[in-house]
Structure 1
Amino acid sequence: MESSASEILLDFSPMFRLYKDGRIERLLGTEIVPPGFDPKTNVESKDVVYSQETAQIVRIYIPPNAAGKLPLLVYFHGGAFCIESASSPTYHNYLNALVAEANIVTVSVDYRLAPEHLLPAAYDDSWDAAKWVASHFGGNGPEEWLNRHADFNNVCFSGDSAGGNLAHHMAVKMTKEKIDGFNLAGIVLTHPYFKGKEPIGDEIKFPAEREKIDMLWQIIYPTTTSGSDDKWSNPIDDPSFGSLGCSRVLVCVAENDIFKPRGLYYCEKLKQSGWGGEVELMESPGEEHVFHLHKPSCENAAAKLKKVADFINQGKSRLKSL
């Protein structure tokens, strides 16, 4: 007879399973690829430790024939805070393509995963990584690629799913804890992982999925006092919601994604918040959650890649016009 310790607490297949004894069985997101030269895009990458305390790394990308100062993207990967990494082939391939398309420098952030490291560890690590990146302002940081090529007047944060959640909260934190010389021009939230206790819009069509996501949140953030309505999961009602430290936001949603209603709601409420910046929305018809990572060659993924690249480079165009 199976012991209670080995019983499944939450089956989040095909991504992972959580067990009653606290273990996680990762079914996806464990494969890694080394950095280096990508022959498809001619993009180069390297891994650098940004925290000696936690041994977390960032993977830095530079485009072919990088010259002068280029827009800087800080990227936070998805995976429900439980799987994937900056070394994952899924994210490595996506960012190689984005860096080549947009001609930008990118820093892809690794952060500690739950349940081994419960929230808010991912938020703490992401902020540490952002501060490490900012330490290169003025050309005096530990990593020469950033010293030489990153334009700290034109920085964007981005992420998908849980990474979109992280990107939002890092942008809010930029307002609370300003970093000298670091201009956050915009954020790109792709299929962001936002939730709330009460369903909105089409969320009502997914009762079983909503229950699993709510349960997951309680497991990976056991100290929450309000469950899926706390500020990390549901930032809309947070008094700091409209205090984004940037002037432009692009939210990408997919038609058949359970997180689509929250993405639409985020845009609507941000416009009403008094924030005063520009909000753009891109919806991919007929697509599922993070489809662009799994079907990178499809037409909608190509359109999304171009939209994100254009959005990041808008900051460069605006600076030239000043």
Structure 2
Amino acid sequence: MAELDYELPRFIRVYKDGTVERLMGTDTVPAGIDPETGVESKDVLVTPESGVSARLYLPKIRDPAKKLPLVIYFHGGGFYCFTPFSTFYQPFLNSFVAESNIILISIDYRRPPEHPVPVAYDDSWNAIRWVASHCNGTGPEAWLSEYADFGRVHISGDSAGANIAHCMAMRAGSEKVNGLDFDGLILMHPYFWGKDPVGGETDDTEKRAYIEKFWVLACPTSSGADDPWMNPGLDPKLSSLVCKRALVFGTEDDFLKYRAKYYGEVLGKSGWAGKVEVVETEGEAHVFHLYKPKIKKSMELVHKVMSFIYEENANPI
């Protein structure tokens, strides 16, 4: 058996011969029609050169004459694990799409250590540009051309995917994407960190170093936990975030909750012209809504996002 190089418990084992063993998120579910919600999904190739693909979701109630808000979604997994095709994601995203009456595309970026960050960022950015190619109605994917409202685009993700969503909103602030109007940024339990504690974060140096290790191994060229990709509070260009509004979720039993609060604080003070709201769920753990998509608190999260997408008191149907 190959000799172990390093392990990130519950995530991956990397062996000295280059073999990578992922410890979660390897099971998949095919696209199709969800019998419970009526949501239909299908897989599409986004970038033939890299093999990057995505899973598209379309709600049951649809009228080509009435365009739907579009959510560009990035899955979590510490950058290392899961894909849009993982069984873990399908129940929540079906529910999210059905309840919110949106069209959603979940991006399959390439993952470290085989493809170190910033490959995930570049893949995600190329996927956004591919989505934009549909705004004049001539793109390759009919669902986007027929049903998506490119004037109401939201960028979203959970955990490491929320990190990617933020970075995409930053990149869109400096590299314009013709045809897309980025209305909102929705971050669910974002994976951010930093050298120094914020809020009630642990000051245990060993624990902090261990958490930083996840990022440094994912992005070996990074300057560390205070890299603006990981610590947006130190990004001098934070005010250029492209979206008009931001909704950030934290949860009580998650050590990353302080970063969610901190993100809201620094974004609000950065000179950014938009409006940010931070919501904390009581008594739940990191990405609880993916583990338990049908519980009341998960549905409350979905309804909060729905209200955000359609603005207050709007009827999505």
TM range (shorter): over 0.9
Deviations 1:123-147 (A, max 9, x none): 0000000000011002111101100
How far has the Cα of 1:215 moved from its partner?
1.2
Paired with 1:166 and 1:191, the residues of 2 have a C-alpha distance of 12
Q: TM-score, normalised by structure 1?
A: 0.93
Paired with 1:297 and 1:209, the residues of 2 have a C-alpha distance of 33
Paired with 1:215 and 1:18, the residues of 2 have a C-alpha distance of 14
Report percent identity of matched pairs. 48
Deviations 1:237-282 (A, max 9, x none): 1122121111100000011111111110000111111102111111
Deviations 1:114-163 (A, max 9, x none): 11101100000000000000110021111011000000000000000000
Does 2:276 match 1:279? yes
Paired with 1:315 and 1:151, the residues of 2 have a C-alpha distance of 19
> 1:41 corresponds to which letter in structure 2?
T
- Whether the 8 Å CA contact 1:154–1:315 is kept in 2: the answer is no
- Whether the 8 Å CA contact 1:77–1:109 is kept in 2: the answer is yes
- Whether the 8 Å CA contact 2:59–2:98 is kept in 1: the answer is yes
Does 2:3 match 1:6? yes
| Matched position secondary structure for 2:238 | coil
Paired with 2:207 and 2:37, the residues of 1 have a C-alpha distance of 37
Aligned residue number for residue 248 of structure 1: 245
Paired with 2:191 and 2:291, the residues of 1 have a C-alpha distance of 18
| Matched position secondary structure for 1:17 | strand
Aligned residue number for residue 48 of structure 2: 52
5+ residue gaps, structure 2, are none
Paired with 2:98 and 2:30, the residues of 1 have a C-alpha distance of 18
Aligned residue number for residue 85 of structure 2: 87
> 2:303 corresponds to which letter in structure 1?
K
How far has the Cα of 1:228 moved from its partner?
0.9
How far has the Cα of 1:317 moved from its partner?
5.2
Does 2:304 match 1:307? yes
| Matched position secondary structure for 1:304 | helix
Paired with 2:134 and 2:190, the residues of 1 have a C-alpha distance of 28
Paired with 2:115 and 2:312, the residues of 1 have a C-alpha distance of 36
Q: 1:173-212 residue pairs with structure 2 within 5 A?
A: 173-204=171-202, 208-212=206-210
Paired with 1:141 and 1:259, the residues of 2 have a C-alpha distance of 39
Aligned residue number for residue 38 of structure 1: 34
| Matched position secondary structure for 1:255 | strand
Q: 1:70-85 residue pairs with structure 2 within 5 A?
A: 70-85=68-83
How far has the Cα of 1:22 moved from its partner?
4.4
Paired with 1:103 and 1:149, the residues of 2 have a C-alpha distance of 11
Paired with 1:248 and 1:161, the residues of 2 have a C-alpha distance of 19
Aligned residue number for residue 268 of structure 1: 265
Aligned residue number for residue 126 of structure 1: 124
- Whether the 8 Å CA contact 1:185–1:315 is kept in 2: the answer is no
Paired with 2:54 and 2:291, the residues of 1 have a C-alpha distance of 22
How far has the Cα of 1:289 moved from its partner?
0.7
- Whether the 8 Å CA contact 2:13–2:21 is kept in 1: the answer is yes
How far has the Cα of 1:206 moved from its partner?
6.3
Paired with 1:96 and 1:267, the residues of 2 have a C-alpha distance of 28
Paired with 1:7 and 1:89, the residues of 2 have a C-alpha distance of 28
Paired with 2:260 and 2:23, the residues of 1 have a C-alpha distance of 27
Aligned residue number for residue 217 of structure 1: 215
How many residue pairs get aligned? The number is 313
Q: TM-score, normalised by structure 2?
A: 0.94
Larger helix proportion of the pair: 1
- Whether the 8 Å CA contact 2:173–2:241 is kept in 1: the answer is yes
